[in-house]
Chains A and B, each alone.
Chain A
Amino acid sequence: MFKHALTYVLTALLLFPIIRNGDAAEELTLYSGRSKSLVEPIIQQFEQETGVTVKVNYGNTTQLAAALMTEGEKSPAALFWAQDAGALGAVSKKGLFAKLPDALQAKVPANFRDADGFWVATSGRARVLAYSPERVTTKQLPESVFALTQPMWKDKVGWAPHNASFQAFVTAMRMQVGEERTEEWLRGMKANGAKTYAKNTPIIEALAAGEIDLGLPNHYYLLRFKKSNSNFLVAQTFFKANDPGNLVNIAGIGMLKSSKNQETALKFVTFLLSAKAQQFFVSEVFEYPVTEGVIPNANLVPLSELLKLVPTFNLNEMADLEGTLALLRKVGIL
């Protein structure tokens, strides 16, 4: 009896993938390097409003970029929503993106979109200085990321050199202060015993656990910890204005040239830049908006303030990831 039941269940499950079928009227395939946990609600909202079914392939931004490049013209994807500018730049360089209409580009400030119009940012992600308010007073806080090589911070700083956001920050630093100064800083950090963490979340956890006193993560992770535990004993701040440590990286989206579904795809991009979607990124995902007219999140610096703090540079010039990786390898950090 039991044996038979098991056999039937197994057979059914074996057949399951073959019989499952049936397509909705209007469909859109999206490769999302942004986590499901962050963007699913806003995608569902889009589906409800437009009746379009969005089929999402979630994954890691770099891996999806690699998949897109392997697929080439045959890609089933209509859109690629990436976690950083570097991946968008790489796909764009292969000539896989279609140019976005001018009206769409005009919605976003020039430093938040591709100069050639192949992708636009959908939200901003700032690099910050996270610290333990128990062990570091606001007076002691370093004014510049370059001060982290000082002896007073020996063995007390955590960073995540394997993380794409960190590498974007190093790329920006190379462009802002030059190759030599960047290498000197990296060597100084290494000599000063900077602790390597796998990514941003473990940096915040290590701060709370007392393993380190300062850390260099993205801005929104701490806000998520605070959401579930308001007494969480970690704080964060920016360096002084124009410091390379205050880089704002982006999440952005591009449309595939090979897609036969471009009209619907553009609807989705337009929706992401609408006030509703931008408000969602600010209020729910704790990121910075890329358009005006959004009610600021009390936990975030207003966009206008942020733009005064960030170093002046062009996101389009940030494509030299290979140069950064080579430098990190040379210094012995990777």
Chain B
Amino acid sequence: MAGSQSSLREANRARVVDAVKKHGGLTQVELAGAAGLSAATVSAIVKELVAAEIAEVRSTVRSGRRAQLVTLAHRVGLVAGVVVGYRHLRVALADVSHEVLAEQVLPLPADHRSDTSLDRVALLIVDLVERVGADLDELLGIGLGVPAPVDPATGMVSVRGVLRGWDSVQISQVLEKRLARPVFVDNDANLGALAESTLGAGRELRDLLYVNVSQGVGAGLVLNGRVHRGADGTAGEIGHVQVDPAGRICACGSRGCLETVVGCPALLEPLLPSYGNLTLRDVVRLANQEDPGCREIVADAGATVGGVVAALATGLGPQRVVVGGDLAETGEVFLGPLREALRRRTLLSQAGGPDVVPAALGLRAELMGAIALALASTDLFERPDSTDDEGAGR
């Protein structure tokens, strides 16, 4: 205890910053409750944080009373990251240093419609902007990921049938019309690759493969430090590589695609008679609890994906394979067999070939990538400061 006055102060400061981060924006009174500190302490710490330009304070109204809303500083502007998954929608707001200020997940029904889901994206972004006490014109841009190849020229899904109900939807136009902010669309695995190569497990590397195995399977390629999208944005669509010539017909029209073998419905089907109705998350949780049946399913999927990744790695020679998505949450249960398949089927250089590591950003890789895409696509200095109103906004 002795001599801990300054470290106590440090710890209190950290508690206040953490509480603001978790809730997006809090009034000083709420902050005292959330951080478990006295109002006076919070007030002093907030003053310090404002002076250090870490936090901002503005007047607001809570239940009819005037109050001071504390948020993290975001004077340069905000960006939104959106990931539309098969069964979840994730939206986050971040400042220009990739620091997430507010985040929300919304579970979605199977085969959700593009009109309903894009409407919800727009409403969620407005909600989150409000939560951090900001204004929609502080939003510099929106990055959005979908689980399908996206044509970089049009921002539309470029292969028909792989994402039901999203063919020929002009995703960015729909949202730009609603929010009047620029929208940038990309494939979700490309976003994961972007995030892992700039913020995650591939920071120092020039060539890397990112593989995401969740409800579906996809890969993003980083070649010579840049995300490689290929013609029509179809690069890395390993979900549609044939692994079973006598297999089932895939949504894309071919037979025996990887997705028909390790995609979510195919993965859950063998468990149905003995386990009843499971979700992918149940399988991951049970595998982590050493359930033998679920581990078997996950390990087999790892080996199958490893075979396809091996072919891709032989073609591209990446330094590292980063694995994300739900199945990667089982750790070595999935990664072990994947690594083994890769080792058996690729040319081993003297250095030992690419290593296989889990995504450093975990399940948030795609979301962080959407934020990174929005930041990379908008020019921060073109915009006027939020305090003056010169210069035309979009």
Our verdict on whether A and B bind, yes or no, reads: no
Which residues from chain B sit less than 8 Å from chain A, CB to CB?
none
Which residues from chain A sit less than 8 Å from chain B, CB to CB?
none
